[in-house]
Copies of this chain bind each other. A is one copy, B any other.
Amino acid sequence: MAATFTLDSLNSLSETAFVGAVGDIFEHAPWVAEGAAGRRPFPTVTALHDAMVAVVRESPAERQLAFIRAHPELGSKVKRLDWTTESQSEQGSLGLDRLSDAEFTKFSDLNKAYREKFGFPFIICVRRHTRDSILRQFERRLANDADAERKAALDEIALITRLRLVDKVDGPGKPKTTGRISTHVLDNVSGQPAQGVTISLYEVGASARSLLAKAVTNSDGRTDQPFVAGEPLRIGTYELQFEVAAYFAANKTVQADPAFLGIVPIRFSVAEAEGHYHVPLLVTPWSYSTYRGS
């Protein structure tokens, strides 16, 4: 989404116009923008967001609770889907609308248990998580006590609103909200970058996997674009698949028949939504290495 405001303009708007501009960033809570308005001007977008979060954190406990309660149920976005071979190769992340039967049941049970225990809906910054990671967080946070969980909910709201603000406002000092997945293939037989290797990136869920992107390496052994960039990474598990037998065959490098290494899968998990996951492959027809690079 293109930014529609600049930090400068937000700093100089009337209070009413400021609240009109950013009042919907915190769910049903224009009072957050109202509270931050008087603290203007802000030198950075990060400072603006920090101030808004401070308004929430400084508000009385009951107000915080009402604010949390006003968030929508995550459950309303959940759908079960019978995965077929066809749908498994469908592109795009495995969202909450594509759960297996078992996951759907698990999700419903967690939702009910959470509501009963805490009296407010489970809040999580969905854009930073895969489906599996949401379920994992759900299970973990259900074990919290009420205070810890209120804190956890507010932390997630801070992450959600940070993304919303960054989408809406341009200016200096924007917080880093994007991650990156990239790779690099080195051919250790020729001592050259491996050009022409087809690579697929999959999201690997407990019940299904989904193709996120496919690309071919250039003369530097890299893909012209990172596999994922410009948005937060979804915390969860991924798999890069490198078609190395086809690459070596095209380069007339001697291989067995069938090749010892056909498709090399590198499975890894993302823990930092804003991290750079550079996952290279050093390869010969009989060996390979991978590591988290930089």
Cβ-based interface call for A249 (8 A):
no
Given contacts A265-B267, A289-B282, contact A294 B192 (CB under 8 A): yes
In the bound assembly, the distance between CA atoms of A26 and B237 in angstroms comes to 53
Q: Nearest chain B CB to A291's CB is how many angstroms away?
A: 3
Mask of A266-281 contacts with B, CB within 8 angstroms, 1/0: 0111011000000000
Which residue, A133, A263, A286, A293, has most C-beta atoms of chain B within 10 A?
A: A286
What are the 10 closest A-B residue pairs judged by CB atoms, nearest first? Answer: A191-B286, A287-B291, A256-B271, A289-B289, A188-B287, A258-B269, A191-B292, A193-B294, A188-B284, A286-B292
**Roughly how many angstroms separate A190 CA and B294 CA in the complex, as a whole number?**
12
Q: Is the CB of B265 within 8 A of A269?
A: no
A254 vs B268: C-alpha distance when bound (angstroms): 16
Give Cα A279 to B288, complex, Å: 11
- Nearest-neighbour CB distance to chain B for A293, whole angstroms, equals 6
Chain A residues within CB distance 8 Å of chain B: 133, 136, 184, 186, 188-193, 220-221, 235-237, 239, 254, 256-265, 267-269, 271-272, 282, 284-294
Distance A191 CA – B279 CA, assembled complex (angstroms): 11
Enumerate chain B residues within 8 angstroms of A268, measured Cβ to Cβ.
Answer: 260-261
9 pairs from A and B in contact (CB 8 Å cutoff): A186-B291, A186-B293, A237-B262, A256-B269, A259-B271, A287-B289, A287-B290, A287-B291, A288-B291
- Tell me the number of copies of this protein: 4
Contacts of A294 in B (CB 8 A): 184, 186, 192-193, 220-221
| C-alpha gap A68/B102 in the complex (Å) | 52
Most buried by B among A188, A190, A239: A188
> Please, which residues of chain B bring their CB within 8 A of the CB of A184?
294
Distance between Cα atoms of A148 and B264 in the complex (Å): 34
With the chains together, A46 CA to B289 CA distance in Å? 41
Assess whether A288 is in contact with B290, with CB atoms less than 8 Å apart: yes
Excluding A239-B265, A284-B284, A287-B289, 12 further A-B contacts by CB distance (< 8 Å) are A186-B291, A189-B284, A220-B294, A237-B258, A257-B271, A259-B271, A260-B268, A261-B267, A262-B267, A282-B287, A282-B289, A287-B292
A264's contact among B190, B193, B267, by CB below 8 Å, is which? B267
Docked Cα-Cα span, A87 to B189, in Å, equals 38
Task: Give CA–CA (A269, B293) in the complex, Å.
Answer: 25
Distance between A139 CB and nearest chain B CB, rounded to angstroms: 13
Bound CA span A190–B192, Å: 18
